[in-house]
């Protein structure tokens, strides 16, 4: 399947030349001549790469870059005649992954796109792999908020899952109740530490074969809890 690239450029002649060159190099492309059209195509086309000009009729390109980055992780390459250090610093600071000035080399443009797409794909695969934790026949899948114990699905509440995943992600590391409140609930000053005790008990009842003698979710007396797993 061809990779989708969105070209946000108000100079239509330049946009069409870039589009034609990228099409020749195996990409599927679309053109947006302003910020409004860009948002429509971002939501409908779901591009895998964005080429962004800074001079647009309805919005400054740097501001549009900031808005796009708040919503999606898609790689952004700014392609602009504005080549000052200030523009480059602002563009990269607001979320662009790369910056090229006009006039530019089409060969270099394609090389940079390819490099960013390879890097982005590698990061996405790493995220996907990191989201699945497996301990024997037990699996904790962060992407699906799904837990299976001995190949059977177990129903956990969102916070039960997040606490279990956090501890399992940091296997063999001991956390105090305060640290767990901060990591999972996001507060420490007014949190009730008994919340952790209750949630640990609930998780053990669902995740452990023998909740009174837990194999995974261990209590470290006087300190807190840890998730441990030793291959048998």
pLDDT by position in tens, the chain (length 232): 789 999 999 999 999 999 999 999 999 999 999 999 999 999 999 999 999 999 999 999 999 999 999 898 899 999 999 989 999 999 999 989 999 999 999 999 999 999 999 888 877 666 656 688 988 889 999 888 899 998 899 999 988 999 999 999 999 999 999 999 888 887 654 557 888 999 999 999 999 989 999 999 999 999 999 999 865 4
| 113 and 43 co-located in one domain | yes
Distance CA 158, CA 156 (A): 6
Residue 23 included in any domain: yes
pTM over 0.85: no
Count up the domains in the chain and report the number: 2
> Shortest CA distance to 50 belongs to which of 12, 104, 103, 95?
95
Distances (CA, A) of 24 to 33, 40, 145: 21, 25, 41
Q: Who contacts 18 (Cβ-Cβ below 8 Å, separation ≥6)?
A: 7, 9, 29, 51, 79, 106, 109
| 84 and 109 co-located in one domain | yes
Q: How many CB atoms lie within 10 A of CB 46?
A: 11
For 57, the domain range is: 4-129
| 182 and 95 co-located in one domain | no
Distance CA 77, CA 18 (A): 13
| 113 and 39 co-located in one domain | yes
| 39 and 121 co-located in one domain | yes
| 161 and 89 co-located in one domain | no
Q: Which of 129, 163, 179 is the last residue of a domain?
A: 129
């Amino acid at each position: 399947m061809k990779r989708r690239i969105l070209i946000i450029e108000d100079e239509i002649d330049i946009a069409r030349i870039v589009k034609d060159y990228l099409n020749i190099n195996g990409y599927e492309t679309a053109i947006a001549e302003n910020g409004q059209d860009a948002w429509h195509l971002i939501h409908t086309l779901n591009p895998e790469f964005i080429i962004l000009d800074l001079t647009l009729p309805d919005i400054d390109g740097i501001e549009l870059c900031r808005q796009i980055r708040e919503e999606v992780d898609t790689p952004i390459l700014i392609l602009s005649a504005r080549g000052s250090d200030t523009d480059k610093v602002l563009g990269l600071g607001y979320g662009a992954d790369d910056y090229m000035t006009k006039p530019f080399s089409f060969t270099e443009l394609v090389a940079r796109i390819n490099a960013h797409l390879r890097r982005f794909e590698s990061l996405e695969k790493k995220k996907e792999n990191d989201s699945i934790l497996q301990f024997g026949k037990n699996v904790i899948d962060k992407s699906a908020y799904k837990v299976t114990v001995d190949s059977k699905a177990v129903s956990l509440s969102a916070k039960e899952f997040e606490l279990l995943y956090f501890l399992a992600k940091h296997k063999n590391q001991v956390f105090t109740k305060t640290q767990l409140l901060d990591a999972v609930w996001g507060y420490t000053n007014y949190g009730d530490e008994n919340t952790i005790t209750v949630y640990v008990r609930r998780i053990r009842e669902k995740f452990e074969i023998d909740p009174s003698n837990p194999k995974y979710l261990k209590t470290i007396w006087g300190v807190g809890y840890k998730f441990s797993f030793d291959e048998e």
